[in-house]
Chains A and B, each alone.
Chain A
Amino acid sequence: MNAFFLKLAALFYLAGSLSYLAYVVFMSEKAVSAGRFSLLFGFGVHLVGFLMRYFEAGYTPITNLFESLSFFSLAVVGVFLVVERRYRLKVLGAFVSPIAFILILFTAFLPSEIQTIPPALQSYWLPIHATLLFVGDAIFAVAFAAGIIYLIQERQLKRKKLGPLMRRLPPLDVLDEINHRCLTFGFPLLTVGIITGAIWAEYAWGSYWSWDPKETWSLITWLLYAALLHGRLTVGWRGRKAAILAIVGFGAVLFTFLGVNLLLPGLHSYASFGR
């Protein structure tokens, strides 16, 4: 049953993506409200699906790739709705809603059955640790989108061509402000997420840090965002540099989440036990 809600959410996210793209192409305000409502409904339906799965499974459903992708997409939409409300940045939707749609689309290719939860994941640290990190990652996804828009907008301004897209893109300083605010919320969440992971690891495996590829990549992400933070606060990395680092940083986020499991097989084995 929860899978049905997930599919419905995916349709809403698709509708949201198309509406926001229609806004960029036709500059219609109606498209914006269609996009906003699609995402809002999609989020509601998705949340219901998540809660249903929570009660059906009896554990926080963030334990395998299917569930993680689904939750990540939920978090991205949630964070976007908050940011949109605050900054009224319609065009951000054209970049963020496709991210959410692609994430949830991937789940269609994965087994959706509720699986049994391996002993290593039976801990109350699972919901705390995973939720903190995915919300943090979703914030970084929004910063990534703002970074991409920044670079496009800057290019247009440099060419001094008033293209049709440009009028729809927000001013550079607003994009930079979003970049900064995202870092302000994303970085503490990433930090607390890594720390809760360390506490869990200490309690489950007897080692708070073992340079496991997943741990190491989360540290790499943390170091990159720390560099961006210091560049911003002290050397005055604004605008372009900050946008590029937000894009690179999100690359590291994605690699930590997906790349480590998919491209470095056999190294990371949180769920395996006993052989």
Chain B
Amino acid sequence: MSKKSSESFFEKVWKFFASLRLAIPVLIILAVASIFGTIIEQNKPLEHYRRFYSESTIKILSKLGLFDMYHSWWFLLLLVLFAINLTCCTVDRLPNVFKVVRNPKRTLDEGMERSLSLVHRWRKKGKVEELREKFASALSQAFAKPVETYNSDVLHLYAERGAFSRFGVYITHVSILIVLVGAIIGNIWGFKGYVNIVEGDQISRVQTRGSKGIVDLGFAVRCNDFRIEYYPNGTPKEYISDLSVIEGGKEVLRKTIEVNDPLRYKGIWFYQSSYGTAGATNITVDVRKKEDGSLIKRLTLLPNQKVKVEGVGTISAVDFDPNLQGFGPALRVRVEGESGQPLSFWIFKNFPDFDKRRGQPFYLVFSGIDEIYYTGLQVAKDPGVNIVWVGCVFMVLGILVAFFGSHRRVWLKLVPQEGGRVEVVLAGAANRNRLAFEKTFQRLKEELSKV
């Protein structure tokens, strides 16, 4: 008694999780819930949220996990529900599909004859045995090689195409589970971090996001050089880092990385992600005569270092912008004349004559800077990523098979009649794209009536 009721309870639970009535709400709830995380910025520091929300709102939002929504317990629970639903649906229906594919219904009984919409009958002179071969070869040519089954003196020919397409849906479903497994593996055994390396320096440890803290790479990465290439109009064209991998005191790999072209070593990827200046040394400024452009003096300056030039005044470099308003590298200089107000203004590396406009007997040219950059690298290890790609491949294949494949089945029944005649019954069915199959069926009808 108790066993029976617990079984039926289990059955009820199973049916609930395997039902499509669950799948559709889960899909829609997942979609709607995902919206919140796009409206509320995710994973920002508390100060950031204080600018937009009151303390009490922040408390509520943070309780609901809305600041890291896609990793909150309730969102993960939704994903788990989604995965359980997918699994149960597949386990529930797949055996039946196997049965249909491996052991199709090879005979056309009266019930099917009535239920199928594509049925055509005609009569033909001759005996079943005589007509058998003709029909079989005609069917093979026009559609697919049939299987023959005798049921007393009635002959059934059964041919099918695209039986495999019945698996498309399940391939797709399983592929989503594979992607989820890959994502979980990546979350557990992988890490994502970020590191700044000043030119000439090397690092071997990376600060990661999440709970893993600082990760030791087991080797070191040195930034030999960082540079920016610009388009003629001054917008950045490429960010380039020259990196070396150092292991056991030796350089084992050297690669120049760019955005969209990362470095990989021992399963750890280094991506060009940002950059910054770590200071400047040796700024070169030329002082030239306005009349003929001849060089009065070439200055090598350190930031904010004042240098006196006879007849001109004291010159210092006070600010630098690698790309001021799209005009390329610019230097802000300060000139304290021997008399009068100190002046400060920008000069541009790409426009050497720019300072002539000041109308002084001399002008300043910004001719170079040895800037020390740091390169900002995203560092990632994800042992699950290949599993995700396998899932993606199956997803695409599964969807294509499920959407464009169709299991088309054709039955041909030869029933002996009195007077040396045979009744021919042709029937067909397709589980997808029925309109196209109707045309196939019409063609088959024509071909087979010629027999």
Q: Is B259 located at the chain interface by the 8 A CB criterion?
A: yes
Closest Cβ–Cβ distance, residue B74 to chain A (whole Å):
15
Write the A226-258 contact mask toward B (1 if CB under 8 angstroms, else 0).
110011001100000000000000001000000
Docked Cα-Cα span, A275 to B271, in Å, equals 17
Q: Assess the B396–A273 pair: CB atoms within 8 A.
A: no
A152 is an interface residue with CB less than 8 A from chain B: no
Q: Which 6 A-B pairs have the closest CB atoms?
A: A206-B380, A223-B31, A119-B259, A213-B38, A227-B27, A116-B231
B239 interface hit (Cβ, 8 Å) = yes
Bound complex: CA A120 to CA B395 (Å): 27
B236 at the interface (CB under 8 A from A): yes
Cβ-based interface call for B142 (8 A)? no
Q: Which of A119, A211, A230, A234 contacts B239, CB < 8 Å?
A: A119
Q: How far is the CA of A127 from the CA of B233 in the complex (A)?
A: 24
Q: How far is the CB of A180 from chain B (nearest CB, A)?
A: 10
Q: Nearest CB to that of A213 among chain B residues?
A: B38
Q: Chain B's nearest CB lies how many Å from the CB of A188?
A: 5
Query: Does A156 lie at the interface of the complex (its beta carbon under 8 Å from any beta carbon of B)?
Result: no
- Contact pick for B41, options A191, A199, A216, A267, CB 8 Å: A267
- By the criterion CB–CB under 8 Å, are A119 and B260 in contact? yes
Interface string of B34-45 (1 = CB under 8 A from A): 110111011000
B23:A209 contact, CB within 8 angstroms = no
Please measure, in the bound complex, the distance between the C-alpha atom of A205 and the C-alpha atom of B275, giving whole angstroms: 14
Closest residue of B by beta carbon distance from A264: B38
A224 contacts the other chain (CB 8 A): yes
The reply on B303 being an interface residue by CB < 8 A is no
**B346 lies within 8 A of chain A by Cβ:** no
Q: Mark A102-119, 1 if CB is under 8 A from B, else 0.
A: 000000000000011011
Nearest-CB residue, chain B, relative to A184: B403
Q: Would you give 23 A-B contacts (Cβ < 8 Å), ordered by A?
A: A118-B235, A119-B236, A120-B259, A122-B259, A188-B399, A188-B400, A188-B403, A195-B396, A202-B385, A205-B273, A206-B269, A206-B271, A206-B273, A207-B192, A208-B385, A213-B38, A216-B38, A219-B31, A223-B27, A223-B28, A226-B27, A264-B39, A274-B239
CA distance A203 to B260 in the complex (A): 6
The residue of chain A having its C-beta at the shortest distance from the C-beta of B228 within the complex is: A274
B183 at the interface (CB under 8 A from A): yes
Q: Per-position contact with A for B429-448: 1 when CB-CB < 8 Å, else 0?
A: 00000010000000000000
A3 at the interface (CB under 8 A from B): no
Establish whether residues B38 and A223, one from each chain, have CB atoms under 8 Å apart when the complex forms: no
Chain B interface residue count, Cβ-Cβ cutoff 8 angstroms: 50
Closest to A195 in B: B392
Taking the complex as formed, is A80 at the interface, i.e. its CB lies under 8 A from any CB of chain B? Answer: no
A64 interface residue, CB < 8 Å from B? no
Question: Bound state CA distance, A273 and B71, in angstroms?
Answer: 26
Q: B76 contacts the other chain (Cβ, under 8 Å)?
A: no
A230 to B259, Cβ gap below 8 A? no
- The 8 A CB mask of B373-412 against A (1 = contact, 0 = none) is 0000011101001001100100110011001100000000
Name the residue on B nearest A126 (C-beta): B260
Residues of A contacting B403 with CB < 8 Å? Answer: 184, 187-188
Q: A116-B237, A188-B399, A220-B34 are in contact. List 4 more A-B contacts (CB 8 A).
A: A205-B378, A207-B378, A226-B27, A264-B38
Q: Which of A208, A252, A260 has the most CB of B within 10 A?
A: A208
The secondary-structure label for the interface of chain A is: helix
Chain B residues proximal to chain A, CB less than 8 Å:
20-21, 23-24, 27-28, 30-31, 34-35, 37-39, 41-42, 70, 183, 192, 231, 233, 235-239, 258-260, 262, 269, 271-275, 378-380, 382, 385, 388-389, 392, 395-396, 399-400, 403-404, 435
Q: A188-B396, A208-B388, A230-B23 are in contact. Are A122 and B260 (CB under 8 A)?
A: yes
A118 and B236 within 8 A (CB): yes
Q: Does A31 contact B (CB under 8 A)?
A: no
User: Is there an interface contact between B239 and A206, defined as CB atoms closer than 8 Å?
Assistant: no
The answer to whether B388 and A273 have CB atoms under 8 Å apart is: no
- Complex: how many Å from CA A227 to CA B24? 5
**Residues from chain B with Cβ under 8 Å of A231 in the complex:** 24
B26 CB to closest chain A CB (Å) equals 9
Scan residues 21-37 of chain A and give those whose CB is less than 8 A from a CB of chain B. Answer: none
Cβ of A198: which chain B residues have Cβ within 8 Å of it? 388, 392
Cross-chain contact B38 with A224 (CB below 8 angstroms): no
Q: Known: A209-B183, A213-B38, A264-B39. Is A234-B396 also a contact (CB below 8 A)?
A: no
Interface string of A185-205 (1 = CB under 8 A from B): 001100110010011001111
A256 nearest CB neighbor, chain B only: B38
Q: Could you tell me the distance between the alpha carbons of A47 and B12 in the complex, rounded to whole angstroms?
A: 57
Taking the nearest CB of chain A, how far is it from the CB of B275, in angstroms? 6
Inter-chain contact A204/B259, CB cutoff 8 Å: yes
In the complex, which of the residues B35, B259, B378 has the most CB atoms of chain A within 10 Å of its own CB atom? B259
Contact A204 B239 (CB under 8 A): no
The CA of A234 and the CA of B27, in the complex, are separated in Å by 15
A120–B31 touching, CB < 8 Å? no
For residue B172, which residue of chain A has the nearest CB? A191
Beta-carbon nearest neighbor of A267 in chain B:
B41
Contact B400 A211 (CB under 8 A): no
Contact B274 A273 (CB under 8 A): yes
Contacts of A199 in B (CB 8 A): 389, 392
B28 → chain A closest CB, angstroms? 5
Closest chain B residue, CB of each to CB of A220: B31
A192 and B396 form a contact (CB under 8 A): yes
Which residues of B sit under 8 angstroms from A119, Cβ to Cβ? Answer: 236-239, 258-260, 272
Distance A187 CA – B275 CA, assembled complex (angstroms)? 39
CB nearest to B322 among chain A residues: A274
Contacts of A115 in B (CB 8 A): 235
Question: Does A260 lie within 8 Å of B399, measured CB to CB?
Answer: no
Whether A224 contacts B380 in the complex (CB less than 8 A), given A120-B259, A206-B271, A267-B41, comes out as no
